[in-house]
A and B are shown apart, each in its own frame.
Chain A
Amino acid sequence: MIKYIFSIVSAVVIIMLITLVFILPTNRDSANADSENQQADNTSALTNTLLFKNIRLFDGTEFIENTNVLVKEGLIADISKSIDIQHLGDIRVIEGQNLTVLPGIIDAHTHSYGNALQDALRFGVTTHLDMFTNEMGLLESVQQRQNLQQTDKTDLFSSGTLATVDGGHGTQYGFAIDTIQNIDGVAAWVTRRKQAGADYIKLVYMPNQQYMPSLDKATALEVIKQGHLQGLKVLAHISSFSAAKDLIEGDIDGLVHIFADQVVTSDLLAMAAEKGVFIIPTLGVIASVNQQNRNSELLADERISGALSAAQKETLQVSFSHAASGFDFAIAKQNVSLFHQAGVTILAGSDAPNPGTAYGVSAYHEIILLTESGLTNAEALAAATGTTATQFSLEDRGVIAVGKRADMVVIEGDPSLDIDTIFNLKHVLKNGYQVQQDLPQSQQGVAIENPMLGDFETQDSLQPNEGFNWTQTHDGYANGNSTATITRVGNIGVDGSAALRVVSTVEAGFPYPWAGAAIGDFSPPISAADIAAYTHITFDVKGSKGNYRVMSFSATSANIPPSQNFDVSSQWQHIRLPLSGFKGLDHTQVSGFAFVAGPTLGEYEFVLDNVSLE
């Protein structure tokens, strides 16, 4: 008997192991489905080999008239006035009397959240130099940008988080960041950035102002020193002349804003030029702070508006709440001009998605602002391509030269004569593959068919529309500590009908804590709903007294959810809120609503019934 146990058990386990390998799900099916879809969409999207014939080239430094560029398997293979087309065989050719080919645009100052990388790539911004983001996905993006595969995302380089102090600039965004406690911790802090996948260091130095604490001078200089010791470039956020002066003296590699509080002195100009500092002025965002942005022009421009996602439109439309002192747009432009004349390198960065800017489009706008600040058209384009690649040691991009990555933008017109032609985007190539410039279908909302979002009479009523479910929601998803439970109960509703009981515990841990019930699609991939046909959201509610709010969620933007408040008492109340009260919500791109208690801490219990759109 014992003899057989050995053979039987061994055989069974080995057979199970082998079977396991064959039955586990592989991703081949989905990969096939994807490529078939794309084939149906656009056959030209499938090739990463093509020829640009008789085009005008801006190679990252200068214009070359009437030449040819051959792209082979995602890399630039040949550039010459005469190319033998015979032996190339059947190859895709882009030929145009008045086409200009540029290197893919590099945006040298972004904060790449949410759909940033997709939104940027549709506009031909093929590289993001991020200056502060969540570090979670960075190591993945390092891998991503090394391959030549087809992608719908811009390549990301990043500083990771930024060097600041508790309560300083960078800490106000609702998630914890690794701050610098004292000067002795700087070296380890820099090492942690390296391990998180940072490509360079960014520090915030805002001394002598009363708004928020900042690194002191000694610590800021230590960050520069330690960054350099560990082989990283160190860049700085400054907003004043004196701060810029301190850091340029301390061997900073670059400034990620121009100061606009006073005109630069000739001493500082000479020192900056001598030390080889570069400046990313971010004129677009300074114009926005100074309430001088030109968003309405950009939004109205038909060459641009069609490709803007809801999130891009939203960030372009938003403005800073008030003009801050020390940000004079005219002085900013004058300083850029003076630094440029003194021989200091100027680079183009948008600071998107700050108010008044948007991923992709603002990088182009910045190029135009640079030409208004004394750079020639070629210099301004180089500031967004070749010069940036040189300053950041990006070996494989930024210029059109043999062996470089085929990240390219094709525009109609001659930007050497008229810089505004850069908005005439004809084609975008990433790794040699054509990029879809139109908004993908999935970002267009599906109309809500059943306006009754929750009568809670049956179990099915918890899923009133395709992909729309009732769930509990709380700030735990944003690292808060609140909790919530929801239960459908038979006879507690209006007139003894069934309703939804929500028990919430709102606890400290997130700046705007919440807990309650939500209706919508919150599990990626999120399908957007279109509620443009409705004007109000109504519901019946009773429960423990306190402050409550309805939060609205966008399928495309990760910004703070627009909310409206309502009050609850122990008596049933019918509440009717206008959908227009959710400021900034795109009604065609909704992912759901939440009915929550908070931000006042405490325990809440409320009953929700007859949630409906009308």
Chain B
Amino acid sequence: MNRIWQSFVLETGAELLKAFRAPEFIFPTLGMPVAFYSLFAILLPGSSNNSAHLLATYGVFAVMGPAIFGFGISVANERDKGWLDLKLAAPSQGFSYIGAKVFSTLLFSSISLIIIYLVAGFGAGVELPQSTWAMMLVSHVLATFPFILIGLIIGFSCSGNAAIAISNVIFLALAALGGLWIPMMLFPQSMQTFAHFLPTFHLSEIALFILGASGERDIAYHLMIVGLMSIILLLLTTLAWSKQRSR
């Protein structure tokens, strides 16, 4: 156990060091959500009334980037270069390779969230009870997990170049169609129905529920769907993982 922990700590440290040495990945990933949020919740006219609503949805958007891009592209690249094969041959455990990536992604998601929350609180004038701030923050951090799984599936099943393209498509589709950028009620009916198949929609609905945003929400339904989707994604991840190993 101690040995696994040790290798996990070292792997995570290396992962973080790698990230710090390549700030050209970190800054855009962390900067884009907050830039979008500032645009829609502060700068555009008429935005002042829904800055809290948008925080709930942009919080989900903020954790998508590190998870999908951090995972999808970096795993695919490392696999392309044969690094993954080397890892599997090395005494370090498969768990610590994935674990380190999961953990460092959580840290980057958290940083992304911290920035966007600070902008919301001190720039957009969002005021919430402390418990609401805390619960929404927790829900947003946890929202990273489904995206990590999506990132892993991409990483395990695509080549490095394909991963970039596919990550982008999935990232943009999940964000736009899940109603993270523009409130869902402005969408036509068919798109609103389609959104129910996207984890982004349910995760943002959960955050909106915590926020107490206007509208009726069935929280149990959204939690159940998110749970179900996570299980399916986990199965797919395992499938992708074993498929690439057996290759």
Contacts and interface: CB of A to CB of B under 8 A. Distances in A.
Given A2-B13, A2-B14, A20 B137 contact: yes
Contact of B128 (A27, A191, A476): A27
Interface in A506-535: 523-524
B157 interface: no
A394 interface: no
Nearest to A29: B127
Interface string A1-26: 11111110110010011001111111
B13 A139 contact: no
- Describe A's contact surface by its main secondary structure: helix
B17 A2 contact: yes
A25 B127 contact: yes
Contacts of A197: 215
Given A25-B122, A196-B185, A5 B129 contact: no
A24 B214 contact: no
Contacts of B111: 13, 16
Interface stretch (B113-121, B166-174, B231-239): B113-121
A274 B145 CA distance: 62
Given A2-B10, A5-B13, A139-B216, A17 B127 contact: no
Chain A, interface residues (CB within 8 Å), range: 35 or more
B121 A3 contact: no
A191 B189 CA distance: 9
A143 interface: yes
Contacts of A1: 13
B16 interface: yes
A21 B134 contact: yes
Contacts of A92: none
B146 to A, nearest CB: 20
Nearest to A5: B13
Contacts of B103: 10
Contacts of B2: none
B189 A6 contact: no
Interface string A375-391: 00000000000000000
A140 interface: yes
Contacts of B82: none
Interface in A1-59: 1-7, 9-10, 13, 16-17, 20-28, 30
B225 interface: no
Contacts of A24: 117-118, 121, 128, 130, 133
A21 B185 contact: no
A143 B211 CA distance: 14
Q: Which of A7, A13, A28 has the most CB of B within 10 A?
A: A13
B32 interface: no
B45 A477 contact: yes
A6 B9 contact: yes
Interface residues of B, number: 36
B214 A16 contact: no
A6 B101 CA distance: 12
Q: Which of A1, A139, A524 has the most CB of B within 10 A?
A: A139
Contacts of B39: none
A522 to B, nearest CB: 9
Interface string B135-146: 001000100000
A3 B13 contact: yes
B126 interface: yes
B50 to A, nearest CB: 10
B127 A27 contact: yes
A7 B141 CA distance: 19
B165 interface: no
B224 interface: no
Contacts of B216: 139, 142
Contact of B107 (A13, A139, A188, A524): A13
A192 interface: yes
Nearest to A2: B13
A20 B117 contact: yes
B12 interface: yes
B84 to A, nearest CB: 20
B45 to A, nearest CB: 6
A465 B13 CA distance: 57
A450 interface: no
A182 to B, nearest CB: 16
A197 B14 CA distance: 52
B13 A20 contact: no
Per CB-CB distance, the 8 closest pairs between chain A and chain B, nearest first, are: A2-B13, A140-B214, A27-B127, A5-B13, A24-B121, A139-B215, A6-B13, A139-B214
7 contacts: A21-B137, A24-B130, A137-B214, A139-B215, A195-B192, A197-B215, A477-B46
Interface of B: 9-10, 12-14, 16-17, 45-46, 48, 103, 107, 110-111, 113-114, 117-118, 121-122, 125-130, 133-134, 137, 141, 185, 189, 192, 214-216
